[in-house]
Structure 1
Amino acid sequence: MTVGRICSREVDLIDADESVQVAAGRMNSRNVGTLIVLDKESHPIGMITDRDLALRIVGKARDSIQTLVSEVMTRFPDNVSEETTIELALSKMRAGGFRRLPVIDDEGKLVGMLTLDDILELLSTEFTEIGKLIKKESPTSLAKQ
């Protein structure tokens, strides 16, 4: 299965020249932990997370109104294409310590966001279905037929 089948297509954005106070407010109002920064051609050039706000702003006692997103965002974040397999994306997440990866199309434009939660939800569904099959095929179930 590919990333494009399970990623979220609605991605919250922010401009690099907005303040981190605006970023925090947007995260709060939309109940998200990540905002993506795009260039004029819709290529992801940065990402800011709630963790970035905690460590790079609060943890360093920086002024959230005066500090711009561009000053604390992760520049040119790793990404995956829509055609990337779930296994490869998960491997990339583990290797880099990422919980989220922007998903891009063949032109490098943002089309979605893959989160560890997306992968866990898929695995949970798959394991539930496997559990049902195992229960259905168990000796006890087969003996009742």
Structure 2
Amino acid sequence: MSVGRICTRSVDVAAPDESAQAAAIRMKTRNVGTLVVLDQNQCPIGIVTDRDLVLCVVAKGLDPTMTELEVVMSTLPESVTENTPIEAAIGIMRRGAHRRLPVVDDDGQLVGLVTLDDVLSLLSEEFEEIGELVRKEAPTSSTL
């Protein structure tokens, strides 16, 4: 199974020169905790989370109206494509301690975001299906 099956297609984005305050307002308005930061070619260059804003701006006493996301964001060491096997994406997440990975097309442009929650939802569905199979195959007292 590939990442394209489980990734989120509607992704909130920001520019690297956007202020931390503008990003926080967008997160609040859109009810999201993550923004993917894109370059001028619509290619992901970083991710900023609500936690990043708290730890890198608020806790350091920086002015959120003057602090650009480029300073706050986590730079992207890796991204995946829609065809990347889920197992490979999990490996990337585990090795880099990433909870989110941008999904890009062949030109490196953003097409989605795969998160640890997406993977856990899939695993939960798989375990439910396995549980159903086990229940159907389990002998009952009347068949013993």
Please state which band the TM-score falls in when normalised by the shorter chain.
over 0.9
Deviations 1:11-34 (A, max 9, x none): 001122211011111111212111
How many aligned positions are there? 144
For the 8 Å contact 1:102–1:112, the answer to whether it is kept is yes
1:46 equivalent in alignment to 2:63: no
Structure 2 gap segments, 5+ residues each:
none
**Structure 2: which amino acid aligns with 1:102?**
P
**Structure 1 length as normaliser, TM-score?**
0.92
Structure 1 gap segments, 5+ residues each:
none
1:57 equivalent in alignment to 2:57: yes
Q: Tell me, what secondary structure is at the counterpart of 1:94?
A: helix
**Structure 1: which amino acid aligns with 2:23?**
A
CA positional deviation for 1:77: 4.3
CA positional deviation for 1:141: 8.0
Which residue number corresponds to residue 87 of structure 1? 87
Which residue number corresponds to residue 139 of structure 1? 139
Q: Residues 141, 58 of structure 1: CA spacing in aligned structure 2 closer, same or farther, 3 A cutoff? A: farther
Q: Tell me, what secondary structure is at the counterpart of 1:139?
A: coil
Which residue number corresponds to residue 2 of structure 1? 2
Q: Residues 142, 89 of structure 1: CA spacing in aligned structure 2 closer, same or farther, 3 A cutoff? A: farther
**Structure 2: which amino acid aligns with 1:66?**
M
CA distance in 1, matches of 2:49, 2:141: 48
CA positional deviation for 1:76: 3.6
Alignment of 1:1-145 (within 5 A): 1-140=1-140, 143=143
Q: Percent identity?
A: 56
CA positional deviation for 1:122: 0.3
For the 8 Å contact 2:16–2:39, the answer to whether it is kept is no
**Structure 2 length as normaliser, TM-score?**
0.93
